[in-house]
Amino acid sequence: MKDVVQWLKDNGDLKIIDEPLDVELEIPHVAYIEVKTDDSRPLLFTKPINKAKGITYDMPVLMNIFANKALTEKIFGKHPDLVAEGIDELLKLKPPQGLKAKLAMLPKLFSLKNVFPKRLKFKGECQEVIIPKAEVDLDTLPILKTWEGDGGPFITMGQVYTQSLDGKMQNLGMYRLQQYDKNRLGMHWQIHKDASHFFDQYQKAGKKMPISVAIGGDPLYIWCGQAPMPHGMFEMLLYGFVRNKNAQLVKSITNDIYIPRDVDIVIEGFVDPILTEIEGPFGDHTGYYTLKEAFPVMEVETITMKKNPVFQATVVGKPPLEDKYMGWATERIFLPMLKPMAPDLIDYNMPENGVFHNLILAKMKTLYKGHAMQFMHAFWGVGQMSFVKHALFVGEDAPQLEESEALTKHILNRLNAERVFITKGIVDHLDHSSSEQFVGGKLGVDATGDEVEEGVEKPLGDDALLEKMQALDSNIVALKQYMCETKTPICVISVDKKTSMKILSVKLYTLQKHIKLLIIVDKVNNDLNNVYMLIWRVVNNIDAQRDVTLEPFICLDGTNKNGYDGYKREWPGDTFCSKEVLDGLQEKGVIDINDIFIKRFGLLSC
**Model confidence over 462-501: pLDDT tens digits?**
999 999 999 999 999 999 999 999 999 999 999 999 999 9
Residue 303 lies in a domain: yes
Q: What is the mean pLDDT of residues 122-150?
A: 97
CATH of the domain at 178: 2.30.110.10
Q: Which pLDDT does position 107 carry in this prediction?
A: 59
| 368 within a domain of the structure (yes/no) | yes
Q: Which of the four pLDDT bands, split at 50, 70 and 90, describes residue 102?
A: low
In 359-414, which residue ranges form alpha helices assigned H by DSSP?
371-380, 404-412
Which residues, 6+ apart, have CB-to-CB distance to 403 below 8 Å? Answer: none
Residue 40: inside a domain: no
Q: What crossing angle do the helices spanning 579-588 and 26-34 adopt, rounded to 10°?
A: 80
Taking the CA atoms of 106, 111, 116 and 118 in sequence, report the sign of the dihedral they define.
positive
What is the distance between the alpha carbons of residues 291 and 307, in angstroms, rounded to a whole number? 37
pLDDT for res 97: 65
List the Cα angle 192/197/202 in 5-degree steps. 150
Q: Is residue 298 one of the residues assigned to a domain?
A: yes
Are 438 and 580 in the same domain? no
* pLDDT class of 90 with cuts at 50, 70, 90: low
User: What is the average pLDDT across 495-509?
Assistant: 93
401 lies in some domain: yes
Query: Residues 105-128: what's their mean pLDDT?
Result: 80
Alpha-carbon distance of 269 to 600, in angstroms, equals: 43
Can you tell me the distance from the alpha carbon of 19 to that of 15, in angstroms, rounded to the nearest whole number?
12
Same-domain check for residues 393 and 503: no
Residue 181's nearest CA partner among 143, 150, 149 is 143
Over 60: is that where the pLDDT of 76 sits? yes
Confidence (pLDDT) at 334: 87
Domain count for the chain: 4
Task: Tell me which of 269, 290, 312 is where a domain ends.
Answer: 312
pLDDT at 129 over 80: yes
pLDDT at 94: 58
CATH number, domain containing residue 521: 3.40.1670.10
Pair 602, 510 in one domain = no
Do residue 372 and residue 259 come from a single domain? Answer: no
Q: Which of 110-114, 163-167, 485-489 has the highest mean pLDDT?
A: 485-489
* Parent domain of 253: 67-312
Mean pLDDT of 127-137: 97
Task: State how far the Cα of 457 lies from the Cα of 147, in Å rounded to an integer.
Answer: 48
pTM of the model: 0.92
Give per-residue pLDDT as tens, 321-330: 999 999 999 9
Residues 520 and 418 in one domain: no
What is the Cα–Cα distance from 468 to 481, expressed in whole angstroms?
A: 14
Same domain, 491 and 399: no
Are 194 and 216 in a shared domain? yes
Do the domain assignments include residue 455? no
Give bridge partners of residue 349 from the DSSP assignment: 361
Q: How far apart (Å, rounded) are the C-alpha atoms in residues 331 and 346?
A: 13
| 270 and 128 within one domain | yes
- Answer whether residue 222 shows pLDDT above 70: yes
Mean predicted lDDT score pLDDT of the chain: 92
pLDDT (mean) for 159-174 = 91
If you average pLDDT over residues 190-213, what whole number do you get?
86
- The verdict on 498 and 604 lying in the same domain is no
155 and 224 co-located in one domain: yes
Do 198 and 171 fall within a single domain?
yes
Regarding whether 262 and 348 lie in a shared domain, the answer is: no
% the chain with pLDDT above 90: 80
pLDDT of residue 194 exceeding 80: no
Q: Compute CA distances 113 → 162, 246, 402, 424, whole Å.
A: 24, 8, 36, 43
404 has pLDDT over 70: yes
Last residue of one domain, picked from the residues 423, 447, 471: 447
pLDDT of 314 strictly over 90: yes
Whether the per-residue pLDDT at 200 is higher than 70: the answer is yes
